[in-house]
Amino acid sequence: MLCSVSACATVNSKKQQDAWFAPDKAKHFAVSAAIGASVGAGLKNNGSSDCDAATAGISISLVIGAGKEYHDKYISKKYWSWKDMFWNLVGGAVGSHLATGCH
C-alpha cells in the first residue's frame, strides 16, 4: 500500500510542475509559430488563399505538437501535457496568421 501511495505522489508531482508559463512553454510556442509560419507562407506562395494557408499552418503545428506529446507520454514515459498543446495552438496560430495575413 505504501509503495503505491508513494508512486502516485511521484506522478502527481510531475504534473504539478507543469506550469502555464515556463521555459518549456516558450519553446512550444516558438517552434509551433515557426512551423505555422513556414507552412502558411509556403502554401500562400503556392496559390492557397490566406486563410486556407493559415488553417493548414495551425493544423500541421498541432499535429507535430501532438506527436511530441505522444513521445513524451509513451516513449519517454512522462505525461501528456495539455498546457503544452495549448501553447502549440497559440504559437501555430500566431505564426501562421503573421505569415499569411489571414484575419
Q: What is the pLDDT of residues 26-76, one digit of tens each?
A: 999 999 999 999 999 999 999 999 999 999 999 999 999 999 999 999 999
The residue written with cell numbers 516558450 in the block is 26
**Which grid cell sits at 94?**
500566431
**Residue 92: band (very low, low, confident or very high) from pLDDT cuts 50, 70, 90:** very high
Residue 15, pLDDT above cutoff 90: no
How confident is the model over 69-78, as pLDDT tens digits? 999 999 999 9
- Cα angle 17, 86, 97 (rounded to 5 degrees) comes to 145
Tally of helices (H runs) and strands (E runs) in the chain? 4, 0
